A and B are shown apart, each in its own frame.
Chain A
Amino acid sequence: DIVMTQSPDSLAVSLGERATINCKSSQSILHDSNNKKYLAWYQQKPGQSPKLLIYWASTRESGVPDRFSGSGSGTDFTLTISSLQAEDVAVYYCQQYYSIPITFGQGTRLEI
């Protein structure tokens, strides 16, 4: 199984500042056949179900504000929120879809 490890576990950032969340996979999730990185990011606000933010490591889902961006290599990935807004308080999860079983990181709690 591919293990996804996020850092930090929790993060406090001031309004308007940049937030960076890291995600590391235990093996490469870059597929040689299409040069795509099989990684997604989700946001889960308190009491809500998760919401897809990014897939293919850097493609924003329709309707997601452009302050959210994703980047990374074969094993190391980053979710960046360029200017933190109050509504961004949530737990963020990375997920690999390179192989079954699909696995998630443990989550990063983002606070103001």
Chain B
Amino acid sequence: QVQLVESGGGVVQPGRSLRLSCEVSGFRLGSYVMHWVRQAPGKGLEWVAVISDDGTNEYYVDSVRGRFTSSRDNSKNTLYLQMSSLRVEDTAVYYCAKGPHGMSPEHNWFGPWGQGTLVTVSS
């Protein structure tokens, strides 16, 4: 069945970098747009980034643009989120989520989602 497993979270100081990974199984990663969505502790959902199926197009929420970069290695069934210049307000559980087949990156719902990985930015 379809599975998405995030990893790479942890505690990091403000200004430092971290790379998250999302390994998928049960479907061909190269056929799907993929997203990152985050949830601060006790808060709601915030979409962070999307990357097209071939990795040529990316979009980001304003608050992370220029600091976060999404990439993918379809041959390894793995999605990445490189986060730099981290801020306290980036503290959240980060989820990867699969977009629907055949839709352009800007017009996606999300499903299924991974279990999430917690990133804590603190001095």
Contact = CB atoms under 8 A, between A and B. Distances in A.
B95 A49 contact: yes
B61 A97 contact: no
Given A38-B107, A49-B95, A97-B107, A104 B46 contact: yes
- Chain B: number of interface residues, binned into ranges: 20 to 34
Interface in B107-121: 107-116
Contacts, number: 59
A52 B110 contact: yes
B110 A50 contact: yes
Q: Which of A50, A61, A102 has the most CB of B within 10 A?
A: A102
Contacts of A106: 44
Contact of B109 (A97, A99, A100, A101): A97
Contact of B45 (A51, A61, A101, A104): A104
Contacts of B106: 97, 99-100, 102
A97 B45 CA distance: 14
A99 B107 CA distance: 7
Interface string A37-51: 010101010000111
Contacts of A107: 44-45
Contacts of A68: none
Contacts of B45: 42, 44, 50, 93, 95, 104, 107
B55 interface: no
Closest 10 pairs between A and B when the two form their complex, measured CB to CB: A52-B111, A40-B109, A102-B47, A49-B113, A55-B109, A104-B45, A107-B44, A101-B61, A100-B59, A100-B106
Interface of A: 38, 40, 42, 44, 49-52, 55, 61, 93, 95, 97-107
Interface of B: 35, 37, 44-47, 50, 59, 61-62, 95, 100, 106-116
